């Protein structure tokens, strides 16, 4: 079965688009066939492109995410995706709370993939400066690298 991975943060404009991009990048490097998408637990930014600071951070690392569009997680995601990764504990709790009884996805915290970082959040860079977005990129890239290795 082809892995299908959904990355979920709050707004789907800062962290989860970076996680999706990093995962797509590392999957391509390893020749792993996988589907990927990202979503938010909130709908505030539905239909919007990623935050300009996320777009710049991804471009700096050679990846264009300007065509991504935010959306809210929906019930069908729980059977469409084999894995759903939350970027922090609050979003993990909300994902678990709305999961339907027939959910088939494995639901986990993204940083649990990184040895020594289990239980940690990818901190929300939204209210900070550009450096926070680079920190987020490094964290989601490390997790993506481990995830590709797990799925390959
Ligand atoms: P994200 O960051 O969850 O990483 O996309 C945020 C984006 C928007 C808001 C909060 C966090 N907001 O409150 O609008």
- pLDDT in the model for residue 1: 86
pTM of the model: 0.98
User: For the chain, what is the radius of gyration of the CA atoms?
Assistant: 14
Q: What is the pLDDT of residues 67-87, one digit of tens each?
A: 999 999 999 999 999 999 999
Q: Where are the domains of the chain?
A: 4-151
The DSSP letter of residue 10 is S
Tens digits of residue pLDDT in 48-67: 999 999 999 999 999 999 99
Which residues are marked as active site? 9, 15, 124
Q: Residue range 23-44: average pLDDT?
A: 98
CA distances from 9 to 31, 32, 89 (A): 26, 24, 10
Measured by CA distance, the residue closest to atom 12 of ligand 1 is: 11
Query: Is the beta carbon of 57 within 6 A of some atom in ligand 1?
Result: no
Q: What is the pLDDT of residues 86-142, one digit of tens each?
A: 999 999 999 999 999 999 999 999 999 999 999 999 999 999 999 999 999 999 999
Asked whether 38 and 16 are in contact (CB, 8 A), the reply is: yes
Ligand 1 contacts CB of residue 53 (under 6 A): no
What confidence score (pLDDT) does residue 13 get? Answer: 98
Distance CA 44, CA 72 (A): 9
Domain 4-151 of CATH type 3.40.50.150: no
Instruction: Give tens-digit pLDDT for 8-29.
Output: 999 999 999 999 999 999 999 9
Q: What is the pLDDT of residue 44?
A: 96
Is 14 close to ligand 1, i.e. is its CB under 6 Å away? Answer: yes
């Amino acid at each position: 079965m082809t892995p299908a991975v959904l990355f979920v943060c709050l707004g789907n404009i800062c962290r989860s688009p970076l996680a999706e991009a990093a995962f797509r990048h590392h999957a391509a490097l390893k020749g792993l066939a996988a589907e990927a998408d990202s979503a938010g637990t909130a709908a505030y930014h539905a239909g919007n492109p990623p935050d300009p600071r996320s777009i710049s951070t991804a471009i700096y690392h050679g990846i264009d995410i300007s065509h991504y569009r935010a959306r809210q997680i929906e019930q069908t995601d729980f059977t469409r995706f084999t894995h759903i990764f939350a970027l922090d504990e609050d979003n993990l709790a909300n994902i678990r709370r709305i999961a339907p009884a027939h959910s088939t996805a494995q639901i986990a915290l993204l940083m649990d993939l990184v040895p020594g970082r289990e239980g940690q959040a990818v901190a929300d860079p939204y209210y900070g400066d550009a450096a926070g977005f680079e920190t987020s990129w490094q964290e989601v890239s490390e997790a993506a690298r481990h995830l590709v290795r797990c799925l390959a």
